Amino acid sequence: MIYTKKVMKEICNECGKSVKFGSGRFVNRISDFNTRAYRKGMGKPYPEGDFICEECDLRINEEILKIKSA
């Protein structure tokens, strides 16, 4: 069997900012295990990104809480 290594795109799929080591967003980045095709279908602005940065995760969670409390 031949195994290929998946190259991860270390950007946030919400804002497009880097989450690479040294960016200041590396430690708190969240892996997005959805496929790129699925993220594209969800309307993600940067579907090639394999992570969500902490700032975007907090913003998304705040939006969800607002919807639930309405």
Q: What percent of the chain has pLDDT over 90?
A: 86
Are the beta carbons of 16 and 45 closer than 8 angstroms? Answer: yes
Predicted TM-score (pTM) of the model is 0.84
* pLDDT of residue 6 exceeding 80: no
Q: What average pLDDT does the segment 20-36 reach?
A: 96
Rounded to whole angstroms, the Cα distance separating 52 from 60 reads 10
Summary mean pLDDT of the chain? 93
Dump the DSSP string for 19-55. Answer: -STTSS-STT-EE--S-HHHHHHTT-SSTT--EE-HH
Q: What average pLDDT does the segment 15-29 reach?
A: 96
* pLDDT of residue 5 exceeding 70: no
